[in-house]
Structure 1
Amino acid sequence: MHLIVMRHGEAGWHSLDQERELTEAGRRGVAAVAAQIASSPWRPAQIWSSPYVRARQTAAIVAEVLNCPVQEKAFITPDDDPGRCVDELLDNQVSPLMLVSHMPFVGSFSTLLVDGHRQGIPFMTSQAVLLDMPVVGPGCADLKAQFLP
């Protein structure tokens, strides 16, 4: 399975956390990363997005560039358990799949898949990584590529 994990674009701070919207710089960063993914061999067949506004806006930009559907998933918000998402991946048949979420989730989720622990690597806004997993599980992924704004 190929999995692309992306942090949402830069967001403003003028509202409640769940309602924060992308800035213009955030939109440009997301579009730049989406263009890189579009020119790669790992175009996702589907996007899973956090229900928070900034993640939904990020996913919508990426979906438009890549022409793929988006599904909101309530279990990939900032403080959710990465183990729950691993469980959901076990039932998933879509590959490549893309997740659009937040820190600290994207860092702890990616680290769990690559290194088998949840301490978490940092992600910049709009950054995405490609993970290659022959089997879905902790410590089973290899980091294959990074996409930076």
Structure 2
Amino acid sequence: MQLLIMRHGEAGWHTLDQERELTEAGRLHVAESAAQMAESPWRPKLIWTSPYVRARETSAIVSEILNCAVEEKQFLTPDDDPGLCLDALLENRTSPLLLISHMPLVGSLATLLVDGHRHGIPFMTSQAVLLDMPVVGPGCADLKAQFLP
């Protein structure tokens, strides 16, 4: 399975966390990262996104550029357990799949899949990584590429 993990674009701070919207710079950076994905051989077929506004806005921009469907997932919010996502990935049959979420979840999930622990690597806003997993599980993924604005 090929999995892309992306942090949402830069968002403003003027409202409640779940309702924060992307800034203009955030929209631009998301489009830049998505354009890189569009030129790669790992173009996702489906996007799973957090229900938070900034993640949904990121997903809308990416899905327009990549022409793929979006599904909202309740287990992709900032402080969710990466194990819940891992369980969903075990049942998933779509590859490449793109997850759009938040820190610390994106860092914890990527680290769990690559290194088998949950300490969490940092992600910049609009950054995405590509993981290649012959088997979905902790420590089973190889980092193949990253996409930065």
Query: Displacement, 1:50?
Result: 0.1
Q: What is the rounded CA distance, in whole Å, between the counterparts of 2:73 and 2:143 in structure 1?
A: 23
Query: Displacement, 1:142?
Result: 0.2
Q: What is the rounded CA distance, in whole Å, between the counterparts of 1:21 and 1:79 in structure 2?
A: 19
Query: Residue in 2 aligned with 1:74?
Result: 74
Query: Residue in 1 aligned with 2:114?
Result: 114
Query: Residue in 2 aligned with 1:143?
Result: 143
Summarize the alignment of residues 1-149 of structure 1 with structure 2, pairs less than 5 Å apart.
1-149=1-149
Query: Displacement, 1:31?
Result: 0.1
Query: Displacement, 1:81?
Result: 0.3
CA-to-partner distance for each residue in 1:3-31, whole Å, 9 max, x for gaps? 00000000000000000000000000000
Query: Displacement, 1:52?
Result: 0.1
Which consecutive unaligned segments of at least 5 residues does structure 1 have? none
Supply the AA of the counterpart residue of 2:133: M
For the aligned residue pairs, the C-alpha RMSD in angstroms reads 0.2
Q: What is the rounded CA distance, in whole Å, between the counterparts of 1:93 and 1:108 in structure 2?
A: 22
CA-to-partner distance for each residue in 1:74-113, whole Å, 9 max, x for gaps? 0010000001100000100000000000000000000000
- % same residue: 78
Q: What is the rounded CA distance, in whole Å, between the counterparts of 1:32 and 1:145 in structure 2?
A: 15
Q: Which runs of 4+ in 1 moved over 3 A?
A: none
Report SS of the residue matched to 1:63: helix
Q: What is the rounded CA distance, in whole Å, between the counterparts of 2:82 and 2:113 in structure 1?
A: 9
TM-score under structure 2 length normalisation: 1.00
